[in-house]
Amino acid sequence: MRRVLDIIALILFCAIIITPVLADSRDYSNQYITNSYNYVLEGRQGTLSLALSTDLEDDYLIKKPKWDINDNASYFLSYMNDPAQKQYIKTLADEIRQETQNPDDQARIAASLVQHITYEKGTKYRYPYEVLYQNNGVCGEKSMLIAALFKELGFKSSVLYFVPENHMTAGISCPAPYDFKGSGYCIIEATHPYIITDETAFWTSSRQADWSMPEVIGTSEGRSLDSSDNDYYDARTWINLKLENYATREAGRTLSSEDYQRWYQIKDKYDLS
Gap between the Cα atoms of 246 and 196, Å rounded: 22
Number of other CB atoms surrounding residue 43 within 10 Å = 12
Give the pLDDT score at 55.
95
Q: Quick check: 138 and 226 in contact, CB under 8 A? A: no
Give the pLDDT score at 69.
80
pLDDT per residue, tens digit, the chain (273 aa), is 444 444 434 444 444 333 333 333 333 356 999 999 999 999 999 999 999 999 999 999 999 898 888 899 999 999 999 999 999 999 999 999 999 999 999 999 999 999 999 999 887 899 999 999 999 999 999 999 999 999 999 999 999 999 998 999 999 999 999 999 999 999 999 999 999 999 988 775 555 677 899 999 999 999 999 999 999 999 999 999 988 888 888 888 888 999 999 999 999 999 998
Rounded to 10 degrees, the C-alpha dihedral 186/134/219/88 comes to -120
Rg of the chain over all Cα atoms, to the nearest angstrom:
24
Q: Nearest to residue 192, comparing CAs of 138, 233, 249, 261?
A: 138
**Structural domain boundaries in the chain:** 33-270
Give the pLDDT score at 210.
79
Give the pLDDT score at 142.
98
Give the pLDDT score at 208.
67
pTM of the model: 0.87
Instruction: Report residue 161: phi and psi, to 5°.
Output: -105, 110
Give the pLDDT score at 29.
52
Give the pLDDT score at 22.
34
Give the pLDDT score at 23.
32
